[in-house]
Amino acid sequence: MRTSRVPFSSTTSKAASGKARARMSMTAQRRRGQRAYPAGFVYIFLGLYYATGHGTDIRLAQYLFAGLYLLNLLLVFRIYCRTNKVPPYVFFFMCCASYRIHSIFVLRLFNDPVAMAILFLAINLFLEERWSWGCLLFSLAVSVKMNILLFAPGLLFLLLQRFGLLGCIPKLCICALLQVVLGLPFLLVNPLGYLTRSFDLGRQFQFKWTVNWRFLPEEVFQSRAFHAGLLLAHLAGLGLFALHRWHRSKESILALLKDPAKRKHPSPPLTVNNILWEAPQIIFVLFSSNFLGVCCSRSLHYQFYVWYFHTLPYLLWCTPTAKLAHMPKVLLLGVIELCWNTYPSTICSSLSLHICHGLVLLQLWYGTAPPPAPQTPLPSRKPPALSKKAQ
């Protein structure tokens, strides 16, 4: 009797332990030239593999991801409730109007929404001033999908602003230690292979899947010079926002390295035209840091939409909005959604997506500008009135 050929992982699942099979699966991926993921992804999807009868009960997996989708919405709504920035009707579009997001969660079962749900849980902990637990979950999210590192520059800024350099080091150690603990089974076997494949910063993307650079020739899309230009643009954007939009103190940005108690000018509370400190400031720094990375990405695939979909309403409404300006912002959300629902992507859809991203960046830059310094009135030069005696 002829037997059909089955995947390697399913033939060895009965004989190997979970960690050993995960190691062999990653080794097989490397041999086939495929991309491996960090250790957190392996553990979570290994649990899903067993929970769904070795990957046979797809309906159960979809139910689990539907629950994850609802949990993700709950975490996002809890973040937005701390800001009172976004009008309530916008949440309808967030919940019901995105076919692509529903597909990513429930139909495709990607690891991107898993990482983002953990990330939003970490942000909720940051808002509750539980920075150590938040850093632990942030690192866990990174171990599921590397795109969470786009939030890292903003998080580093917030840690320096909140704790200074010496107080920031223990938080960073928490992030690093969790990566070592989760990746230990793989680091003991093949440390170089695990680090280079799981955190592959030089990964080459396929042109046929790009959503944002379809209007470029494929030779330019694959060019290292183009990639270097995007990296420089990303770093420049982060530097500009860190210096002029995130940092509000009158001191130099190097003052962030000092202990907060020893700083001369603490960050002042911002006025109505700006982002207030505490919850909205934390959200603004993290969301804008991620959005800058998305704008400068070497390629965006369809599942990457979940990287910033739930942050777009805040990025659009965190700035002062006149009554007549609400509809253009809703229209902007609709055009972005249309671009992501165009398959395969076209020159028009890619250009439209970049135009929308540019408009969001412009309103973020100008809408959160610090107010001009109040000018002291010049002394009056009118001659003094003569007394009656002088007259």
pLDDT band at 390 (very low <50, low <70, confident <90, very high): very low
Alpha-carbon gap, residue 160 to 48, rounded angstroms: 37
User: 25-39, 115-129, 164-178, 190-204 — which is least confidently predicted?
Assistant: 25-39
User: 27-36, 109-118, 234-243 — which is least confidently predicted?
Assistant: 27-36
pLDDT band at 322 (very low <50, low <70, confident <90, very high): confident
What percent of the chain clears pLDDT 70, i.e. is strictly above it? Answer: 82
- End-to-end distance of the chain based on CA atoms, in angstroms? 127
Tens-digit pLDDT profile for residues 130-140: 999 999 999 99
Mean pLDDT of 156-169: 94
Tens-digit pLDDT profile for residues 277-310: 578 999 999 999 999 999 999 999 999 999 999 9
Most confident of 150-154, 185-189, 342-346: 150-154
pLDDT (0 to 100) of residue 253 = 85
Q: Which residue has the higher pLDDT, 255 or 59?
A: 59
Give Cβ neighbours of residue 22 (< 8 Å, ≥ 6 apart).
39, 42, 43, 46, 185, 186
Mean pLDDT of 204-211: 90
Whether the CB-CB separation of 132 and 144 falls below 8 Å is answered with no
Angle subtended at Cα 52 by Cα 47 and Cα 54, rounded to the nearest 5 degrees: 80
Mean pLDDT of 117-137: 97
Whether the CB-CB separation of 126 and 280 falls below 8 Å is answered with no
What percent of the chain clears pLDDT 90, i.e. is strictly above it? Answer: 63
User: 12-26, 161-175, 318-332 — which is least confidently predicted?
Assistant: 12-26
Arithmetic mean of pLDDT over the chain: 84
Alpha-carbon gap, residue 216 to 183, rounded angstroms: 38
Mean pLDDT of 10-33: 40
- Amino acid letter for position 137: L
Q: Which residue has the higher pLDDT, 384 or 353?
A: 353
Q: Which residue has the higher pLDDT, 367 or 348?
A: 348
Residue 149 has, within 13 A of its CA and on its CB side, a CA count of 11
Alpha-carbon radius of gyration of the chain: 25
**Residue in 207, 156, 189, 154 with CA at minimum distance from that of residue 42:** 189
pLDDT (0 to 100) of residue 31 = 38
Mean pLDDT of 208-220: 94
Helix spans in the chain (H): 8-12, 18-31, 39-51, 58-81, 90-96, 99-102, 112-127, 131-142, 152-189, 191-198, 218-221, 224-241, 279-295, 312-317, 326-341, 347-367
Whether the CB-CB separation of 282 and 126 falls below 8 Å is answered with yes
Mean pLDDT of 355-368: 93
User: 78-82, 83-87, 129-133 — which is least confidently predicted?
Assistant: 83-87
Indicate whether 386 pLDDT > 90. no
Q: Which residue has the higher pLDDT, 308 or 385?
A: 308
pLDDT (0 to 100) of residue 264 = 72
Give residue limits of the domains in the chain.
34-192+214-260+279-367
